[in-house]
Copies of this chain bind each other. A is one copy, B any other.
């Protein structure tokens, strides 16, 4: 939901993300993973637990109009591919960085949900001592996992060398950590972060 300057809300159609699908595996059923995480991060900020934000969607601006006595209007722009992950911030002084994706599959998680730039970014931040992971949601099952980026990188490399193009659910259960879902916060991933990184 984007808020129109006048206060009206504008429901963005799913197909809007044609250039870089954000909710490519998601239907119009209830909250998206992004909404759940935004709400969770807001909870963390308000309760002084962590300061983590979603980065704005990167846009290539081509044409802008400047109507007299009113705000500049962007008249032509395109979605562009992010060069980093979507979420970052600070928890207990440490740099936290993650990407969140979901699938409707029930037995595996396709690697095509990630792109090379994001993988490269995760590799870099890990080298600099960051806490870096992915949050993976199996939408049909209602299950969410946190998987350290180092494991994702291994599976990515397996694919690069001709291996399977997805992580099996079993692999995610083995190397990842189940995140319990709640009302507030909805996806309490910081509890898992606290357990496994501190």
How many copies the complex holds: the figure is 2
Complex Cα gap A60–B187 (Å): 26
Contact mask for chain A residues 104-126; partner B; CB cutoff 8 A; 1 contact, 0 none: 00000000000000000100110
Contact between B18 and A71, CB atoms less than 8 A apart: yes
A76 touches B74 (CB 8 A): yes
Say which residue of B57, B66, B89, B94 sits within 8 Å of A56 (CB atoms): B57
Task: Determine how close the nearest CB of chain B comes to the CB of A12; give it in whole angstroms.
Answer: 6
Q: How far is the CB of A13 from chain B (nearest CB, A)?
A: 7
Given that A90-B130, A125-B90 are contacting pairs, would A62 and B95 also be in contact in the complex, using a CB cutoff of 8 Å?
A: no
CB distance from A193 to the nearest CB of B (A): 13
A66 to B96, CA, bound (A): 35
Residue A79 is within 8 A (CB to CB) of chain B in the complex = yes
Decide yes or no: A71 and B78 within 8 Å by CB, A91-B128, A93-B129, A129-B90 being known contacts: yes
12 A-B residue pairings within 8 Å (CB atoms): A4-B62, A10-B62, A19-B72, A51-B121, A51-B130, A56-B58, A59-B74, A59-B77, A74-B76, A89-B125, A90-B128, A93-B95
Report if A53-B84 is in contact (Cβ < 8 Å); known contacts: A3-B60, A17-B72. yes
Asked whether, in the complex, the Cβ of B95 is within 8 Å of the Cβ of A128, the reply is no
Q: Given the complex, which residues of B lie within 8 Å of A127, measured CB to CB?
A: 48
Q: Is A32 engaged at the interface, CB distance under 8 Å to the other chain?
A: no
Known: A59-B57, A61-B12, A74-B79. A96 touches B95 (CB 8 A): yes
Given B18, B72, B76, which contacts A16 in the complex, CB threshold below 8 Å? B72
Bound Cα distance from A82 to B54, whole angstroms:
12
Contact: A94 with B95, CB < 8 Å?
Answer: yes
Contact A19 B71 (CB under 8 A): yes
